A = this chain, B = another copy of it.
Amino acid sequence: MAPFADATAVCRTAPGFFEAEIKPGWDILGNANGGYLIATAGRAMAATAQRPDPVSMTAHYLSPGRAGPVGLETTLVKAGSRFSSVSATMSSTKPVVAALGTFGELGRSGSGDDEARLVDGRPPELPEPEACLPLDRGDEQPSFMKQVEMRLHPDDAGFAFGKPSGSARMRGWFRLRDAEPIDTIALLCAVDAFPPTIFNANLPVGWAPTVELTAHIRARPEPGWLACAFTSRFVTGGFLEADGELWDSTGELVAQSRQLALVPREAPTDG
């Protein structure tokens, strides 16, 4: 059982061309989760790069991804001795995602004998997963929340009960279902899996559509839960950023992310 690998599988149909399917149920109110989309794009790009790990991956979101077949067109921009760079477009009836990434072969977390090492940060302090709030329960949860396992810090869960914490922050645990290992492609999903930070700010902002997301993958995670923290520091001029840090079970930083989202001019309806 590898539900995430299944949901993000791609099939090469010609050099640089792939078919995939946006699976039903990986959506938020009908729109596929953005991290799920770039993980799927990442599979095609890694195949074209002939290197397994996204080192840096950027996606620009062009239109909502709906369940159904999609095509992926990839271009090998450069094949180097250690890294290869690939651009990609995912399209259905119209373009959904444009991506640009550099791929390589990353070490396991903590495996490096780093001569140069600086870590000015640490994993978020989280209660044990059992003491955090699961996001996959209740019929009112968006479908995507049932595809992966997340546990939210109780201090950041108030938004779900109409009591946002007042801090534009989301912290919690992430793992895949059925004990599926988290590879570096799955990290591309994890960086965009949690509810928006902005839900915990006392601001008149609902779902904020992402313009662009960049993830730096720093290492292959060791098995176990990822400890994740997302924060927004700047909501200005109709845009907001959200910064993420993902730490594996050994306490190593495995990914950093930043996204730029639009502050909707009017509150979206659920319909």
A residues with a Cβ closer than 8 A to B are: 55-56, 58, 60, 62-63, 77-78, 80, 83, 85, 87, 89, 95, 98-102, 106-107, 109, 111-112, 114-121, 168, 201, 203-205, 211-212, 214, 216, 218-219, 232-241, 252-253, 256, 258, 260, 263
CA distance A232 to B201 in the complex (A): 27
The smallest beta-carbon distance between A120 and chain B, in angstroms, is 4
CA distance A230 to B83 in the complex (A): 26
How many copies of this chain sit in the oligomeric assembly? 2
Q: For A112, what are the chain B residues with a Cβ–Cβ distance below 8 Å?
A: 236-238
CA distance A89 to B101 in the complex (A): 13
Q: Assess whether B87 is in contact with A62, with CB atoms less than 8 Å apart.
A: no
CA distance A120 to B169 in the complex (A): 12
Q: Which residue of B lies closest to A238 (CB)?
A: B112
CA distance A115 to B206 in the complex (A): 13
The smallest beta-carbon distance between A241 and chain B, in angstroms, is 6
Q: Assess whether B204 is in contact with A115, with CB atoms less than 8 Å apart.
A: yes
CA distance A107 to B219 in the complex (A): 39
Q: For A62, what are the chain B residues with a Cβ–Cβ distance below 8 Å?
A: 77-78, 80, 85
The smallest beta-carbon distance between A111 and chain B, in angstroms, is 8
Out of B100, B168, B211, B237, which one reaches A87, CB within 8 Å? B100
Q: Assess whether B239 is in contact with A58, with CB atoms less than 8 Å apart.
A: no
Q: For A121, what are the chain B residues with a Cβ–Cβ distance below 8 Å?
A: 233-234
Q: Assess whether A85 is in contact with B102, with CB atoms less than 8 Å apart.
A: no
The smallest beta-carbon distance between A58 and chain B, in angstroms, is 4
Q: For A237, what are the chain B residues with a Cβ–Cβ distance below 8 Å?
A: 106-107, 109, 111-112, 114, 218-219
